[in-house]
Chains A and B, each alone.
Chain A
Amino acid sequence: MVFNSQLPLLRVRNLCKQYGPSCSACARLTGPEQGSNICPECGSVVACFGVSFELLPGEVLGIVGESGSGKSTIIRCLNLDESPTAGEAFLSEVEGGKVNLFALSSQRKRFIQSSLLGVVYQSPHLGLNLDFSAGANVAERLLIQNNTPEYRPIRKRTSLLLNKVQVPVKRMDEPIKVFSGGMQQRIQLAKALAPRPTLLLLDEPTSGLDVSVQARVLDLIASLQRETGVSMLVVSHDLGVIRLLTHRTLVMKMGRVVEQGLTDQILEDPQHPYTQELVASVL
């Protein structure tokens, strides 16, 4: 894989998210060595702590780890849904990567979220508005691009996008709830890709699906990534998903990154005992 530029698209520095009062001992008393992410002093949950990484344009980065290791918290913070307790994130397309995204006004954050970021959640009800039709859900992201949008071009692009993710265009005006789980995930994908984002965040995109549907959705994601060259951050507990999609991987446990490197390397030659356990338990 050759990346067009060595300038990172996304730089994340020292991302921390704590739920609760948080004290000075939180960092010391939690983590994989302590075997807990709940601070015994103040009772805060340290969801993630000191997470730093870079993502190059066109690169796919995986985050793997067990439930509660802080993977989804990172996605929520980077999608600007939640503010982290500490840390910085820089996106090369926002003022040349010189401004911390978390420090921007909520109005700017909303703009960045709707034009530069795309997200696919594990369950469709988080990413889709179930009251609207499939087409409207995808169109929603296109309608904010312009102060006075045009109906027909948006409708055309919506059907194009749905076609791309293999949802029958003649069903585009049906409500979300009549679609199968796999279809709903693909509609979420179309919605995420609608404004041509530079960064796609996938939070367990296939975890709720059965194996054959899972394979087809993963194939679709991989081919769309190659086609559009979008950078992706894929969160999963499933090493199969990570192996199939990602170039590089972070392994997380108890809110900390315990190992990172090329995906093949991590899967073939895991260094950290937790990664070894993880790889051994699946493969």
Chain B
Amino acid sequence: MTEKLRSLLDSDTNCHYYNFAYLNESAKREIRRRTLKAVAIPGHQVPFGSREIPITRGWGTGGLQLTLSLIGPEDVLKVIDQGCDGSVNAVNLRRLVTLTTGCRTTTRTSDATLIQTRHRIPETPLTRGQIIIFQVPYPEVLRYVEPQETVTRRMHAEGAYHRMWTFLYENVVQWGRITIGARYPVRVHNRYLMDPSPIPRWDIPKLNQSPALMLFGAGREKRIYAVPPFTKVEPLAFKDIPFEVEHQAGAQCSRCGATDVFLTEILDKDGSCRWICSDTDYCDQRLAAREKSHGV
């Protein structure tokens, strides 16, 4: 089936079988317009007309629509799912984009111009000119503390974030520290509170003053928001109880030996556990570099 589709797309006579990048031009234009607004107001959620695309809502449709609206023939795409280029979700999204655009793809973070990601920021530092697109399940950071959309919008408009602070206060009262793992609330450009998508706390510092443009798309909730390059992003924390990233004492990647990365715990069949890099590309690069230096 895929082969047939590919041949249809490749042949000159059938090149209009699908529009470039699947979405029609007016849909792409609308999403780009919303994206521009989102970039102009860092951290502010902009509603957009989330289109039907051939994946289920909640499986990265927001991120995919952003990717499809931004990708051009010269772009090089990388898609990751929790740091992994090879997971089913990442592979399928990548296949859909390449089928409808013919764009090149890569797993190397430094080679990509567009990176679509689910719940991670690559370990390799992003550079100027790159765009990273996050898939967002819950765009509303205040949903922790307020169920009503009308109320949360008002809270954002008035900058009334005391309820989130009270939530953190109660957290410290109860546990002695802030226990939020993924989806850690951040403040963008000293103004809006933002949900950074369910990235681990480890990735939160990478949002701050990032040279790459960061876009967030929530397809089910129909929201786009953005952090422009070189923008201040700070996690909410008390002055005397500072923000901390995850740390597992003594943990080390069992493949490449890295310790200063976000590690995933793997349980082997015999019940023993080991750690590996969550970012598979970073791990591969380290292994390749090691082999090269041994070879020389």
Segment of A18-26, A134-142, A267-275 in the binding face: A134-142
Instruction: Check B55 for interface membership: any CB of A closer than 8 A.
Output: no
A151 touches B163 (CB 8 A): no
B190 within 8 A of A: yes
Q: Is the CB of A143 within 8 A of B158?
A: no
Residues of B within 8 A of A83 (CB): none
B241 interfacial by beta-carbon distance below 8 Å? yes
* B151-171 contact mask (Cβ, 8 Å, vs A): 1 or 0: 000100111111101100110
Smallest CB–CB gap between B145 and chain A, Å?
9
B17 touches A (CB below 8 Å) = no
Of chain A, the residue at the smallest CB distance from B174 is: A173
Selected contact of A143 from candidates B169, B173, B174, CB within 8 Å: B169
Chain B residues, CB < 8 A from A154:
169
Asked whether B158 lies within 8 Å of A151 as measured between CB atoms, the reply is no
- Rounded to whole angstroms, the CA-CA distance of A224 and B239 in the bound complex is 31
**Which of A139, A150, A155, A173 interacts with B166 by CB under 8 Å?**
A139
> Among A4-12, A66-74, A106-114, A214-222, which stretch is in contact with chain B?
A106-114
Q: How many residues of A contact B (CB 8 A)?
A: 25
Q: B293 to chain A: closest CB distance in Å? A: 45
Question: Which one of B157, B190, B240 lies within 8 Å of A151 (CB-CB)?
Answer: B240
- Of chain B, the residue at the smallest CB distance from A149 is B238
- Is B172 part of the contact surface with A, judged by Cβ < 8 Å? yes
Give the residue of A106, A132, A137, A151 whose beta carbon is less than 8 angstroms from that of B241.
A151
**Selected contact of A147 from candidates B157, B173, B190, CB within 8 Å:** B190
- Taking the complex as formed, is A144 at the interface, i.e. its CB lies under 8 A from any CB of chain B? yes
Inter-subunit contact B240/A132 (CB<8 Å): no
Q: Are B159 and A143 in contact (CB under 8 A)?
A: no
Q: List 24 A-B contacts (CB under 8 A).
A: A106-B154, A107-B158, A110-B158, A110-B159, A114-B162, A132-B170, A136-B166, A136-B169, A137-B166, A139-B169, A140-B162, A140-B169, A141-B162, A143-B165, A143-B166, A144-B162, A148-B237, A149-B239, A151-B169, A151-B238, A151-B239, A151-B240, A151-B241, A173-B173
